[in-house]
Structure formats: structure tokens, C-alpha cells
Amino acid sequence: MRPKSLLLLALALGCGLVASIGISQVLDSNNKKQASIETVPIYVALQNINLGDPVNDAMVSLQEWPRDKVPVGAITKWEDIESRRPKTTIFQGEPLNDGKFLAKGETHDPISGIPPGMRLKTVSVDARKSAAGLLSPGDRVDVQLFVPQNERNGIPHSFTKIILQNIRVYAVDQAVQRTAEGTEERSIAKTLSLVVTPQQASRMTTAENMGELSLIPRHPDDDLIVDDAEQSLEDIFARSDSSSREKERAAFDKSNEKEEMELALRKEISHNPTVEVEPPFRMKLIFPNEVSQIDFDNTTGEPLEKEEENFNTYSTNTVGNGSGEATSTGPDLGADKPEGQFPIDFE
């Protein structure tokens, strides 16, 4: 055999020897660690256990768990769990905890699960009012009220309004929790119990006597409270306020045209400043049988308007001359002036 081949063979054998030694050391260290971990036997659920079902030996098994992983209250003795009923659903692989079970001989009391300060309000439902049987305990709903027209009771028109939002369903008929498997057959419930405050319970009772209540399911993570306005028949049948692009464009063009006109007017005013106009000169004219007022332009001396259209005329006092003819007490200012010429010269 050539020296080069012998060298490669020796190198391969050396690498394999080193790898085998390393693997054996790792396995030995793992075995030592496993031997050093202290375990404790506890009972673990072999299947889902529904609320209120008595526990039997086919549902659980005794398993070794690391002591540092054992939860507080874990059950380690069979006599501590035999025939006891869980307060809540226990899932497969979950350690049995003493705090999740009722005392021996005690049955589940649904009323004890009501949160402090809250109340249960039960409403009658059918397929239409309960979302066709899709609601289960723990779901969230909005409560909608429909009030029919009743003018005798002061209700001039029918309307609909959401009176409560984000209300939790506590029980469907007599079931207060979902089954652990979640494969229960859906049925149309006759009653639903809701968790509400005392004030909300009173509001629902009043609403039930006014009209008809319906439950509207909502997403369990949706906490948004919306401002729901009352909806009447007039609102439902009113014409849609859908926008028209042509109307929007016309309104936009009209607005731009108005702005351009205002801008042009401002420029015109800025280039042509306002000139103060002197007030007219007013003169009172006394004729034999009347007194008139007339306004004259201060610049030209001409009357601003015709006398008969703009002037006020007043009668003057006359006195008799003994022959039955009346004579004026005022002077005759226009006696020597031709017709159409103003009786007073300003020059």
C-alpha cells in the first residue's frame, strides 16, 4: 500500500475515534443530568373533562413531573380527586389542581359564577333573536330594541336602537360553559342569560315591555363602543345620500370661480382707492304757495335730481287781502326768471 493511502486511512480512523469519544461523553452527561432531576408523581388529565362531570380513573393518570415544574395545588393522591367535580373545563394533558374542583359531594352552582356586583338578565329568544343558535356561553353580543308605533302610548313612529353593547353571554338555556371538545350539537336556545349591571338589567326590563329585543353577535376581541343613533322608518326609506362626481366637480368649480372673483375685486380696490365724496348742499326754496327742499352738487352747483321727484313740498300760510283773494306772506323769488331757470344765481 502506498504511504499516501496509509496516511489518509490513519487520519480517518483518528477522526472517527475522536467523534465517538465526544458522543459518549455527551450521552453520559445527559444520563447524569436526568438521574439528578427530582420528580414528583401528579395526576394529569388523559382527556377533556367537562364542568360538573365527576372524575373517574379512566379520565386521569399518575405521571412523573419535575419537581420544579409541578404547579402549586397539584393533586398527588387518588383519594383527593375521586368523584370530585371540576368547577371549570379541564383539558387533556393539564395537571389536576385542587383549586379547580368542588368539595366531595358538592355539585356545581351556576349562580356562584356570577361576577361580584353584576346580575344575570335572562331573555327569551328564538332562531332569529339568537343568531340561529350560534351563540354559546362566553360570547359577546349587542342588545337591540325595536319599538312599534303606538300613538296611544306616546310613540308616534316605529324605531330601532341598540341599547346595550359588548354584553357577555353567561348561559345558553342551562349550559353555563362550552363543552371541552367544542363539538356539541347546535340547537336553537329558548333562553339566554346575560351578565349586566343592575342599571342595565332595569333598562332591559323596561325595553322588553316597550318592544322586542334581539341579540346581535360581535367579535370577542371587539371592545369598540359605537354611537348608535335611533333608526326610524323615515331613515330607512330616505333617499341615499350617495355622492355624484359631476355634482362634486361642479361645486368645486363654482367655489374656485367665486374665489377668483373675490381676488380680482380685492386687486381692483387696491389699485383704485376710494375717493371721499363731499356731501351735497341742501337749500330750502320758499315760493308763494309752497316751500321746497333741493340738493345741489357742491362741485357743479347743479341739482342732483329733478325737484318734483326728490323734494318735499310744504304749503305756506296765506292771508286775505279783503277782496277774497289770498296773498302769500313769502317773497316771489322766481317772478323775474324765465321758465326752467333756477331762481338763484350762485355767481
Q: What percent of the chain has pLDDT over 70?
A: 71
Tell whether the model's pLDDT for residue 204 goes beyond 90: yes
Q: Phi and psi dihedrals of 285, rounded to 5?
A: -110, 130
pLDDT band at 327 (very low <50, low <70, confident <90, very high): very low
pLDDT band at 316 (very low <50, low <70, confident <90, very high): very low
Give the residue among 79, 75, 86 at the shortest CA–CA distance from 47: 86
Across the range 239-257, mean pLDDT stands at 63
Using one digit for the tens of pLDDT, what is the confidence trace for 295-305?
777 777 777 76
Lowest mean pLDDT among 125-134, 202-211, 255-264, 300-309: 300-309
Q: What's the chain look like in SS3?
A: CCHHHHHHHHHHHHHHHHHHHHHHHHHHHHHHHHHHCCEEEEEEECCCECCCCCCCCCCEEEEEEEHHHCCCCECCCHHHCCCCCECCCECCCCECEHHHECCCCCCCCHHHHCCCCCEEEEEECCCCCCHHHCCCCCCEEEEEEEECCEHHHCECCCEEEEEEEEEEEEEECCECCCCCCCCCCCCCCCEEEEEECHHHHHHHHHHHHHCEEEEEEECCCCCCCCCCCCEEHHHHHCCCCCCCHHHHHHHHHHHHHHHHHHHHHHHHHHHCCCCCCCCCEEEEEECCCEEEEEEECCCCCCECCCHHHHCCEEECCEEECCCCCEEECCCCCCCCCCCCCCCCCCC
Using one digit for the tens of pLDDT, what is the confidence trace for 124-169?
888 777 676 788 888 999 999 999 888 888 888 888 899 999 999 9
What CATH number is given for 39-100 in this structure?
Answer: 3.90.1210.10
Lowest mean pLDDT among 174-178, 179-183, 219-223, 322-326: 322-326
Torsion sign over Cα 130, 134, 138, 140: negative
Across the range 89-101, mean pLDDT stands at 90
Domain ranges of the chain: 1-28, 39-100, 111-237
Average pLDDT, the chain: 76
pLDDT value, residue 33: 58
State pTM to two decimals: 0.44
Using one digit for the tens of pLDDT, what is the confidence trace for 13-44?
878 888 888 888 777 776 665 556 788 999 99
Tell whether the model's pLDDT for residue 183 goes beyond 90: no
